[in-house]
Amino acid sequence: MQKRIFITFLTLISIGILTTGMLSISLMRINYVRDIEDKLISNAKLIETFIEEQENIDKIDFNELADIFSKKIQARITFINKGGWVIGDSDADIKKLDNHSDRPEVIKARQGKIGISKRYSKSLEYEMIYVAVPVSVESDKIDVIRLSVPLKDISEYYNLMYRYIFLSIVAGLLVAMFVGYRYVKSVTKPIKELTIATRKISSGNFGELVKVRTEDEIGLLADNFNKMSLKLKDTINELLDKNTKLKAILSSMINGVIALDNNKRIILVNPVAEKMLEIKEADVRNKHVLEVLKDLNLKENICELLNTNVQSKFEIEVKEPNNRIFNVYINPIKLTNDPNRIIGVLVIIQDITEIRRLERMRKDFVANVSHELKTPLTSIRGFIETLKTGAVEDKEIRNKFLDIIDIETSRLTNLIEDLLLLSQIENTNEMTKKDIIDVNKAIEEVIQVLEELAKKRGVRLIEKVNRKLPNLSGNKGWFKQMLINLIDNGIKYTPEGGTVTITAYSTKNRLVIKISDTGIGIAKQHLPRLFERFYRVDKARSRKVGGTGLGLAIVKHIVLAFRGEISVKSKVNKGTEFIVSLPLDES
């Protein structure tokens, strides 16, 4: 831009100087010729006056007279009679002179007017300017006085003028270039700064300012630009802040969110929805929502409600990509300042798989508790009624029935105690009882309690416990109950001649306890549900060995109360291993 302005400036200056010079030359030429003409006319009239003062005009030697006056006025002088013949000339031999009656200046002079003309002189071989003045004396010898000067002097004058004008143009251009460059630079500098600032803003450097101290239109433009830049920076920062907050909110939501435009194309997917549907926002943006969904049933339900433009909700079980249960809410997106205008649809997906699983577990739990309580109570009631009908008189039958009633009562007692313990563990958000547990001593006491039971079943207990285990902080009773349940389980489900191994060791910040047996093992499909209440791999065998179905559920909740982890490995007819990992106090 600076170069274009500078070139334009120089061009205009050059045109102005050339135009002024040419006009000046033309005007000067006109004035110069006019001065010569006036001078020749004046000289011609002076010669006329001189001739009039002579007493006898017929005796005048006009050739001599022409020579005398020609030397004085530096012009060629020609005297012409009334017949148009030259009677005297300062620059030509009288014998060679001819008739000039056809000359335009002579014709006009013979008419009583002053004649002026310019033409090429063959006799002198260059261009001349001629002025012819009529003579008013009463004489037939002279009629016109003609004066002429060569135009070569004018040409030399013109050449001199051209040189001066050329020098003036060069000098003017040099001055104009210096002044113009500084002026154009001062004018374009703010524009350059504005250009650089706009380039930086377009690159993301919002808030860029320019420093212009002029008070003209450029200064006003720069001031408005600075205000616009600051306003733009504030607006962008506000939008970024809102966008960051929106992303944080969407990322923190536990529900999946999919935003669609009016063409049902995806414009936003939050991370939870990406995980639920196994998609990536970058891959599905601007795609139709039905192209993205994999489950056919979900597609059909969403497609049916998308065009209603009203709030709606449905619950659905999807098979793809995973078997889950969703609550799907569909809400139209409306503008705050124009509620009647809908700009899209918001699809909110709530994963209620765990809720439905817990509801099912609760129902199963109630049913199982009812069943577990009903079975021994029915037995007890049946035997009591039998005793009432007369069996009580038969000592052998009576004792047999009372033993069975005692066994069933023990089952009920164990079941109720396990239920109370499980309820206590579950309903305690934080372990309130903090004992210092001597882990080595606690394991030894549990082994002593269960050793007799193991001998009765023909199972050998093997202890592989590090004798220098660190102490543990927590409920000592719960810790021992966890060990009892795991070891008791191993004894119950290990055939005669098998072994149950108790291994314990510590790492830098964990206590690891492993209970492994060589029992019947557990099939792989049962492992995920092994810690559920009343879940039994083999219900008949579990009841036969006296299990309540709550032992492993209690173990799991005790481990969670200690902020630990439990896992299980098992192979059918090979045995089972439970691994408990508990965190140690940093102190």
Q: Quick count: other Cβ atoms within 10 Å of Cβ 501? A: 18
In this structure, what CATH number is given to the domain that contains residue 137? Answer: 3.30.450.20
Residue 428: other Cβ atoms inside 10 A: 14
Name the one residue in this structure whose structure tokens are 């004046």.
42
Residue 369 shares a structural domain with residue 439: no
Evaluate whether residue 85 is within a structural domain.
yes
Residue 229 and residue 312: Cα distance in Å, rounded?
45
In the structure encoding, which two tokens stand for residue 31, read together? 């004035």
pLDDT of residue 205: 74
Q: Compute the distance between CA of residue 271 and CA of residue 283 in angstroms, rounded to an integer.
A: 13
Please indicate, yes or no, if residue 171 is contained in any of the structural domains: no
Let me know: does 135 contact 145? Beta carbons within 8 Å. Answer: yes
Closest by Cα among 234, 225, 232, 236 to 196: 225
Q: State how many domains the chain has.
A: 3
Q: Are residues 413 and 480 in the same domain?
A: no
pLDDT at 440: 92
CB of 215 closer than 8 Å to CB of 44 = no
Q: Which of 519, 508, 532, 533 lies closest to 569, judged by CA?
A: 519
pLDDT exceeds 70 at position 583: yes
Q: Which of 85-99, 129-143, 550-564 has the highest mean pLDDT?
A: 550-564
Task: Tell whether the model's pLDDT for residue 581 goes beyond 90.
Answer: yes
Q: What is the mean pLDDT of residues 228-253?
A: 82
Residues 450 and 569 reside in one and the same domain: yes
The C-alpha angle 163, 168, 173, rounded to 5 degrees, equals 130
End-to-end CA distance of the chain: 75
Same domain, yes or no: 410 and 441:
no
Mean pLDDT, residues 414-423: 70
> Is pLDDT above 50 for 286?
yes
Cis peptide before 190 (omega within 30 of 0): no
Examine the domain organization and report whether 323 and 386 are in the same domain: yes
Mean pLDDT score, 30-47: 84
Q: What is the pLDDT of residues 422-440, one digit of tens each?
A: 677 766 645 666 778 899 9
Domain boundary among 371, 399, 427: 427
Confidence (pLDDT) at 505: 93
More confident residue, 151 or 263: 263
What is the arithmetic mean of pLDDT over 91-107?
70
* Amino acid occupying residue 41: I
Over the range 518-544, which residues count as b (16 or more CB within 10 Å of their CB) and which as e?
A: bbbbbeeeeeeebbbbbbbbeeeebee
Q: Are residues 463 and 569 in the same domain?
A: yes
Which is higher by pLDDT, 173 or 239?
239
Question: Which whole number is the average pLDDT over 23-49?
Answer: 82
Final residue before a domain boundary, out of 372, 399, 427: 427
pLDDT at 37: 83
The whole-model pTM stands at 0.46
Lookup: tokens for 393? 């008189």
Residue 405 pLDDT greater than 60, yes or no: yes
What is the separation of C-alpha 255 from the centre of its chain, rounded to a whole number of angstroms? 27
**CB-based contact 388:373 (threshold 8 Å):** no
Residue with tokens 């650089």: 196
Same domain? For 446 and 401 the reply is no
- Residue 24's pLDDT is 75
- The whole-angstrom separation of Cα 407 and Cα 409 is 5
For residues 97 and 101, the model is more confident at 101
CA distance 50 to 484: 163
pLDDT of 503: 93
- Among candidates 586, 533, 584, which has minimal Cα distance to 563? 584
| Domain around 307 | 253-427
CA atoms within 13 A on the CB side of 530: 21
- Write phi, then psi, for 383 (nearest 5 degrees): -65, -35
* Strand ranges of the sheet holding 324-334, from the earlier edge strand across to the other edge: 266-269, 256-261, 342-351, 324-334, 312-318
* Residues pairing with 506 in the sheet: 511
Average pLDDT over residues 235-260: 83
Farthest CA pair distance, the chain: 207
E-only strand ranges, 151-203: none
Sheet containing strand 460-465, edge to edge, reads 460-465, 499-506, 510-517, 575-583, 565-571
Where does a domain end: 151, 169, 185?
151
CATH number at residue 503: 3.30.565.10
Kindly state whether residues 539 and 405 are assigned to the same domain.
no
Domain presence at residue 145: yes
Q: Which residue matches tokens 């192979």?
A: 571
| Residues pairing with 78 in the sheet | 89, 146
Q: What is the pLDDT of residue 462?
A: 92
Q: What confidence tier does 94 reach under pLDDT thresholds 50, 70, 90?
A: very low
Q: What is the mean pLDDT of residues 224-232?
A: 82
Summarised one tens digit per residue, pLDDT across range 156-209 is 767 777 787 778 777 877 887 777 777 777 766 777 777 777 777 777 777 777
Q: What is the pLDDT of residues 472-498, one digit of tens each?
A: 888 888 888 889 889 988 998 899 999
Within a domain: 175: no
Look at residue 52 and tell me if it is in a domain. Answer: yes
Separation of alpha carbons 165 and 583, rounded Å: 103
Residue 176 lies in a domain: no
User: Which stretches of 253-308 are DSSP H helices?
Assistant: 271-277, 281-284, 289-292, 296-306
Token pair of 414, please?
A: 């164990």
Alpha carbon distances (Å) from 101 to 98, 107, 109:
9, 6, 10
Whether pLDDT at 56 is above 80: no
Phi and psi (nearest 5°) for 287? -95, 155
420/468 same-domain check = no
pLDDT at 514: 93
Q: Are residues 280 and 359 in the same domain?
A: yes
Q: What is the structure's pLDDT at 413?
A: 78
Task: Give the pLDDT score at 367.
Answer: 67
pLDDT of residue 272: 87
Together in a domain, 376 and 474: no
Asked if the structure places residue 28 within a domain, the reply is yes
Pair (296, 315) in one structural domain:
yes
SS3 assignment, position 464: strand
Please give, one letter per residue, the 3-state secondary structure of 68-131: HHHHHHCCEEEEECCCCEEEEECCCCHHHCCECCCCHHHHHHHCCCCEEEEEEECCCCEEEEEE
Residue 540 has pLDDT above 50, yes or no: no
Structure tokens, 446? 């549990």
pLDDT of residue 461: 92
Task: Pull the structure tokens for residue 367.
Answer: 């049913």
- Residue 196 within any structural domain of the chain: no
Integer Cα distance of 201 and 229 in angstroms: 8
Whether residue 457 has pLDDT greater than 70: yes
Residue pLDDT, tens place only, 494-521:
999 999 999 999 988 899 999 999 988 8
